[in-house]
């Protein structure tokens, strides 16, 4: 029981990170109907900015942890926003309206470029940082097992909840969110009511990048080590999360992220860590067989 | 107010507009009639830059808008209720009207939406329903309402009577005449229902395979034997 609870906590934490990245996939898919294959790299860049940022801040002698995290988050979001914006401008916009495979290939190219770019700048070695958020709460303790919830896990889960609530409000309540939903449904009509479609699409990439940056910072704090390859690994998982939840659906991305995090945690705990990806993708395939549009995806039946 | 000079528009190799020249003066209702495939919808869309005119010029208030982005053309005060209605199916009726007001001053929103609800009371009842669940006629009303929410000075209407009961058509045409009279709204109206449209309009143009082949006052076109033969005979002119 204690062991189970501990895995649930670990899975939720991991799932929160996948969920944040998955939102970027699902939003971009929603608005332009294409997968942003460079999105995982944006998350990786967020993590690298975190490593560099925390290192610089500690050299400057900044000792307040909340302040350091805040500064790093802001810097990471700013930088990755620019990368997200650039990905759209370079890999997607020039190819909008051409055959569907073209932007996909250019995005994969962009992804390889970003990976190599970080590798050249930062080296291929694993980057560690000093633990920044330490300690935690002991939830339960029996003679042979202790269930703990570390402060960093609390931070990750809280940040994710706050971002997801804020983000849902943005989509459902604001003019920008309405414009995004309109663009998702009919780009031409959206422009006919006076929406700046290009800007709305850019902002969608930028917002997705910002959320991925937060996930990158969090994962750096959580694991303490990163390398230039994490973008691909987390990207694939988050993409699977978005598909599992129903690509295009925001609650679906969050749910998919959580489920994949939990599956990974439990599989690694009760079976073997080697095959955790196999487990994740088997579940994805099973769900898609019975619900091809994912758990919360909508079947496309609408009166035109 | 609106002036097209020798406008050509292509869909790939298909030349849908073959040198269209047309004028709409401030405060006028101008109608555009023509057979299926003549290029009427293409003309309205070309005015909004989708697709863009390949040749010729489009001026609005004397300024060249031929190469302008669609959203900034709309910001100048042009709104369109396009062919096929194009309601945002997953937005509610209210949200569709909100999105129609994208380019309008937010201060007018409450009174503008009240006007639309007065014009089409059924929309008030459907306020929180998704656009995609409305009937065809209700969607048509929503499409016109959405266009009006943008507070346009020039309203482009593409077959607003399509799929509507004769009673509602009368009501919509009366509403167009009323808005035109009271607020001086300029209207360019594409219609299959040529009889009603020509009765309503100050002037009309007849299109055939991408060209304007006839123009004149509504009454003149109604009396023209060619127009009668092609667009009016056999119709019910109630
Ligand atoms: N998206 C498109 N791609 C290719 N050809 C098109 C497209 N839209 C219209 N056309 C062609 O352009 C021509 C003009 O079409 P348009 O829709 O403007 O006609 P219309 O006068 O509005 O007809 P209707 O009365 O049937 O609505 C037609 O020959 C049509 O096949
Ligand atoms: Mg048409």
Inter-chain touch A181–B133, beta carbons under 8 Å: no
pLDDT band at A304 (very low <50, low <70, confident <90, very high): very low
* Total residue count of chain B as it appears in this document: 238
pLDDT digit string (tens) for A192-247? 999 999 999 999 999 999 999 999 999 999 998 888 888 888 899 999 999 999 98
Q: A301 lies in a domain?
A: no
pLDDT averaged over every residue in chain A? 89
Assess whether pLDDT exceeds 70 at residue B33: yes
Rg (CA), chain B: 17
Closest by CA position to A240, among listed A219, A257, A262, A265: A257
Closest by CA position to A24, among listed A51, A42, A45, A5: A42
End-to-end CA distance of chain A: 52
Which one has a higher pLDDT value, B131 or A283?
A: B131
User: Which residues in chain B have their CB less than 8 angstroms from residue A187's CB?
Assistant: none
Residue to mutate (ligand 1; options B12, B14, B36, B83; most atoms within 8 A of CB): B14
Closest by CA position to A129, among listed A223, A203, A197: A223
pLDDT band at B234 (very low <50, low <70, confident <90, very high): low
Question: In this structure, are strands A127-128 and A225-226 parallel, antiparallel, or unpaired?
Answer: antiparallel
Query: By CA distance, what is B100's nearest residue in A?
Result: A193
Largest pairwise CA distance in chain A? 68
A191 touches chain B (CB under 8 A): yes
What is the enclosing helix (H) or strand (E) of A238? helix A230-245
Q: A302 lies in a domain?
A: no
Report DSSP state, residue A95: G
Give pLDDT, residue A302.
43
Q: A298 lies in a domain?
A: no
Q: For residue A184, what are the contacts with CB-CB under 8 A and spacing of at least 6?
A: A30, A31, A248
Q: Are B45 and B204 in contact (CB under 8 A)?
A: no
Q: What is the pTM of this model?
A: 0.90
C-alpha torsion angle, residues B216, B217, B220, B222 (rounded to 10) = 110
Assess whether pLDDT exceeds 60 at residue B86: yes
Cβ burial of A291 (10 Å; 0-12, 13-18, 19+) is middle
Beta bridge partners of A127: A226
Q: Whose CA is nearest to atom 17 of ligand 1?
A: B41
Ligand 1 touching residue B235 (CB < 6 A): no
**Token match 């993409």: residue?**
A239
Ligand 1 touching residue B16 (CB < 6 A): yes
Q: Are A22 and A254 in contact (CB under 8 A)?
A: yes
Give pLDDT, residue B233.
67
Q: A13 lies in a domain?
A: yes
Q: What is the 3-state secondary structure (H, E, C) of chain B?
A: CEEEEEEEEEECCEEEEEEEEEEECCCCEEEEEECCCCCHHHHHHHHCCCCCCCEEEEEECCEECCCCCHHHHHHCCEEEECCCCCCCCCCEHHHHHHHHCCCCCHHHHHHHHHHHHHHCHHHHHCCCCEHHHCCHHHHHHHHHHHHHHCCCCEEEEECCCCCCCHHHHHHHHHHHHHHHHHHCCEEEEECCCHHHHHHHCCEEEEEECCEEEEEEEHHHHHHCHHHHHHHHCCCCCC
Rg (CA), chain A: 20
- Among the ranges given (A109-113, A172-176, B18-22, B166-170), the one the predictor scored with the smallest mean pLDDT: B166-170
Beta bridge partners of A255: none
Q: A297 lies in a domain?
A: no
Query: By CA distance, what is A193's nearest residue in B?
Result: B100
Assess whether pLDDT exceeds 60 at residue B238: no
Give pLDDT, residue A138.
84
Question: Cα(A113)–Cα(A115) distance, rounded to whole angstroms?
Answer: 5
pLDDT averaged over every residue in chain B? 92
Dihedral-angle region of residue B39 (phi above 0 means left; psi in -120 to 50 means alpha; beta otherwise): left
User: Which residues in chain A have their CB less than 8 angstroms from residue B128's CB?
Assistant: none
- Into how many domains does chain A fold? 1
Q: State the average pLDDT over residues A83-108.
A: 88
pLDDT digit string (tens) for A245-265? 998 888 999 999 999 999 999
Residue to mutate (ligand 1; options B35, B39, B208; most atoms within 8 A of CB): B39
- Among the ranges given (A50-59, B24-33, B72-81), the one the predictor scored with the smallest mean pLDDT: A50-59
Query: What is the least distance, in Å, from the CA of B211 to any CA of chain A?
Result: 24
Inter-chain touch A193–B103, beta carbons under 8 Å: yes
b/e code B59-80 from CB counts within 10 Å (16+ = b) = ebeeeebbebbbbebbbbbbbb
Q: A304 lies in a domain?
A: no
SS3 A297: coil
Q: Whose CA is nearest to atom 1 of ligand 1?
A: B11
Ion ligand 2: residues, CB within 5 A, are: B 41, 83
Range of the domain at A56: 2-290
Assess whether pLDDT exceeds 80 at residue B181: yes
Q: A295 lies in a domain?
A: no
pLDDT digit string (tens) for A132-171? 888 888 887 877 788 889 999 999 999 999 999 999 999 9
pLDDT band at A128 (very low <50, low <70, confident <90, very high): confident
SS3 A183: helix
End-to-end CA distance of chain B: 33
Q: Are B231 and B192 in contact (CB under 8 A)?
A: no
The verdict on whether omega for the bond into residue A211 sits within 30 degrees of 0, i.e. cis, is no
Q: Across the interface, which of B48, B91, B134 has its CB nearest the CB of A192? A: B48
Query: What is the least distance, in Å, from the CA of A194 to any CA of chain B?
Result: 4
- Among the ranges given (A106-110, A138-142, A294-298, B93-97), the one the predictor scored with the smallest mean pLDDT: A138-142
Question: In this structure, are strands B154-158 and B78-81 parallel, antiparallel, or unpaired?
Answer: parallel
């Amino acid at each position: 029981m204690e062991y189970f609870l501990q895995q649930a906590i670990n899975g939720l934490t991991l799932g929160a990170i996948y969920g944040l990245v998955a939102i970027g996939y699902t939003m971009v898919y929603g608005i332009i109907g294409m997968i942003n294959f460079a999105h995982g790299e944006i998350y990786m860049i967020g993590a690298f900015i975190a490593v560099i940022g925390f290192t610089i801040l500690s050299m400057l002698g900044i000792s307040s942890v909340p302040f350091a995290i805040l500064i790093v988050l802001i810097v990471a979001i700013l930088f990755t926003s620019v990368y997200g914006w650039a990905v759209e401008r370079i890999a997607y916009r020039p190819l909008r309206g051409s055959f569907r495979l073209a932007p996909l290939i250019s995005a994969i190219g962009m992804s390889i470029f970003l990976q190599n770019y970080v590798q050249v700048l930062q080296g291929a070695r694993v980057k560690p940082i000093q633990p920044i958020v330490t300690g935690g709460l002991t939830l339960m303790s029996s003679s042979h097992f202790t269930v703990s919830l570390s402060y960093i896990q609390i931070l990750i889960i809280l940040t994710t909840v706050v971002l997801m609530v804020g983000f849902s409000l943005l989509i459902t309540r604001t003019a920008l969110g309405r414009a995004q939903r309109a663009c998702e449904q009919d780009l031409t009509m959206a422009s006919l009511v006076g929406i700046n479609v290009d800007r709305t699409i850019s902002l969608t990439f930028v917002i997705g990048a910002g959320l991925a940056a937060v996930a990158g910072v969090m994962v750096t704090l959580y694991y303490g080590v990163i390398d230039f390859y994490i973008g691909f690994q987390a990207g694939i998982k988050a993409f699977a999360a978005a598909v599992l939840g129903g690509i295009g659906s925001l609650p679906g991305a969050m749910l998919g992220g959580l489920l994949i995090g939990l599956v990974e945690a439990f599989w690694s705990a009760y079976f073997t860590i080697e095959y955790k990806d196999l487990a994740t993708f088997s579940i994805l395939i099973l769900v898609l067989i019975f619900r091809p549009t994912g758990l919360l995806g909508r079947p496309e039946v609408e009166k035109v | 107010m609106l002036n097209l000079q020798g406008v050509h528009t292509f869909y790939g190799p298909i030349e849908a507009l073959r040198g269209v020249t047309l004028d709409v003066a401030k405060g006028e209702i101008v109608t555009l009639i023509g057979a299926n495939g003549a290029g009427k919808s293409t003309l309205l869309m070309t005015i909004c830059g989708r697709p863009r005119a390949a040749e010729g010029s489009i001026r609005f208030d004397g300024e060249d808008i031929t190469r302008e982005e669609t959203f900034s053309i709309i910001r100048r005060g042009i709104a369109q209720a396009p062919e096929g209605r194009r309601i945002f199916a997953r937005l509610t009726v209210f949200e569709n009207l909100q999105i129609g007001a994208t380019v309008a001053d937010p201060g007018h929103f409450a009174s503008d939406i009240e006007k639309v609800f007065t014009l089409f009371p059924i929309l008030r009842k459907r306020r929180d329903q998704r656009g995609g669940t409305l009937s065809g006629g209700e969607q048509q009303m929503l499409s016109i309402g959405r266009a009006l929410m943008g507070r346009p000075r020039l309203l482009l209407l593409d077959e607003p009577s399509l799929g509507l009961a004769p009673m509602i058509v009368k009501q919509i045409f009366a509403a167009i005449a009323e808005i035109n009279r009271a607020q001086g709204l300029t209207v360019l109206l594409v219609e299959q229902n040529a009889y009603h449209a020509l009765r309503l309009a100050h002037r009309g143009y007849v299109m055939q395979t991408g060209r304007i082949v006839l123009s004149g006052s509504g009454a003149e076109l109604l009396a023209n034997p060619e127009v009668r033969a092609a667009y009016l005979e056999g119709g019910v002119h109630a």
